[in-house]
């Protein structure tokens, strides 16, 4: 093992693979975040502002919230920026990180085919829509990947007193992948699906899909940010990581989030408590 370690270290130090890239000496932190924030383009809009101000490069690894929390648990990220409050609070309670700060919210929407076989379009009650879909057995594409969006979707099935597993493989189809691939699948098979608004707004391959249900209080989607616990993982860059957390919930960071728009639509609404 010592030999392997030596070889790898030599390889890493040799700069063999770093070549022309100037980031070798740059200060950076690693942030595990969700596909919704990355794919909506928020980070591309937000991170250059922080980097310019502090000189700290933020490297974002976009995963589902479940996987991102696990990345934090293993100590492979310095900061987590995710959206599954229950799972985040569990993460903090287990001592893996925190304190957790609320950052911003947007909402989930249900999208489905224009033909609307389950007759749910225009509804304001998401639970009624879920019941109609289950009754009509219209195809529904689920993330099935333990992401924040998947967790929210499952909570709503539970609230509607429906066990979607009974329709598994028939009308309830788990894609086991990110929001984008799931939307691609839904678009391909004209299925209903449950998505965060940010990913939907930036998604291009919509086919016949449109928003069918939105505006229900229960569709609230809160994002949180937290530092991974340096006591558990001593290599966590706690100063730079904390600087990023503080900036995101500062007046300046919050304004940058509010400023991000696709067309006329604001994607995320800052709501940090300062």
Backbone angles phi and psi of 181, in degrees to 5: -55, -35
Could you tell me which stretch among 118-126, 127-135, 148-156, 176-184 binds another protein (CB under 8 A)?
176-184
Residue from 34, 147, 187, 229 touching another protein (CB under 8 A): that is 187
30 or 65, CB closer to another protein? 30
Nearest-approach distance from CB 228 to another protein, in angstroms: 10
**For another protein, what does the binding mask look like between residues 127 and 166, x meaning CB under 8 A?**
----------------------------------------
Cβ count near 104 (within 10 Å): 26
State how beta strands 140-142 and 172-174 pair.
parallel
d(CA 245, CA 262): 25
Q: Collect all residues with Cβ–Cβ distance below 8 Å to 150 and sequence separation of at least 6.
A: 64, 66, 142, 143, 144
Could you tell me which stretch among 86-94, 136-144, 146-154, 172-180 binds another protein (CB under 8 A)?
172-180
Applying the rule CB under 8 A, the residues between 65 and 94 that interact with another protein are: 73-76
Residues 218, 126: contact at Cβ < 8 Å?
A: yes
Separation in Å, CA 117 to CA 112, 113, 129, 186, 253: 9, 8, 12, 14, 43
Residue 177: both structure tokens together: 């992948």
Residue 214 buriedness (CB in 10 A; 0-12 / 13-18 / 19+): middle
Nearest-approach distance from CB 132 to another protein, in angstroms: 26
d(CA 194, CA 112): 9
Could you tell me which stretch among 8-16, 85-93, 99-107, 150-158 binds another protein (CB under 8 A)?
8-16
Residue from 233, 240, 257, 272 touching another protein (CB under 8 A): that is 233
- Binding residues for another protein, total number by CB under 8 A: 41
Q: Is 274 in the site for another protein (CB under 8 A)?
A: no
Residue 248: both structure tokens together: 């995101």
Nearest-approach distance from CB 196 to another protein, in angstroms: 13
How far is Cα of residue 115 from the mean position of the Cα atoms in its chain? 29
How far is Cα of residue 263 from the mean position of the Cα atoms in its chain? 21
Q: Is 11 in the site for another protein (CB under 8 A)?
A: yes
**For another protein, what does the binding mask look like between residues 17 and 56, x meaning CB under 8 A?**
xxxxx-x------x----x---x---xx------------
Q: Is 202 in the site for another protein (CB under 8 A)?
A: yes
Residues that bind another protein (CB under 8 A): 1, 4-5, 8-9, 11-12, 16-21, 23, 30, 35, 39, 43-44, 59-62, 73-76, 178-181, 183-184, 187, 202-206, 233, 235
């Amino acid at each position: 093992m010592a030999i392997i370690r030596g070889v790898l270290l030599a390889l890493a130090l040799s700069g063999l693979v770093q070549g022309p890239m100037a980031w070798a000496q740059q200060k950076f932190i690693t942030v595990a975040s969700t596909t919704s924030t990355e794919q909506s383009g928020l980070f591309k809009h937000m991170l250059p502002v922080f980097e310019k101000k502090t000189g700290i490069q933020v490297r974002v690894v976009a995963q589902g919230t479940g996987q991102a929390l696990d990345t934090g648990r293993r100590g492979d990220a310095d900061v987590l920026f995710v959206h599954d409050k229950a799972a985040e609070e569990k993460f903090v309670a287990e001592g893996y990180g925190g304190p957790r700060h609320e950052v911003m919210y947007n909402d989930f929407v249900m999208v489905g085919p224009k033909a609307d076989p389950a007759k749910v379009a225009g509804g304001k009650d998401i639970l009624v829509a879920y019941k109609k879909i289950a009754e009509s057995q219209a195809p529904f594409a689920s993330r099935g990947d333990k992401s924040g969006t998947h967790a929210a979707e499952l909570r709503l099935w539970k609230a509607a007193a429906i066990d979607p597993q009974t329709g598994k493989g028939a009308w309830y189809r788990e894609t086991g992948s990110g929001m984008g691939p799931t939307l691609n699948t839904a678009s391909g098979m004209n299925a209903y699906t449950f998505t965060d608004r940010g990913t939907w707004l930036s998604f291009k391959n919509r086919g016949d899909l449109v928003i069918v249900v939105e505006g229900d209080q229960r569709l609230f989607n809160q994002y949180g940010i937290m530092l991974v616990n340096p006591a558990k993982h001593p290599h966590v860059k706690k100063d730079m990581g904390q600087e990023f957390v503080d900036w995101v919930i500062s007046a300046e960071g919050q304004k940058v989030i509010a400023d991000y728009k696709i067309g006329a639509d604001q994607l995320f609404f800052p709501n940090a408590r300062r």
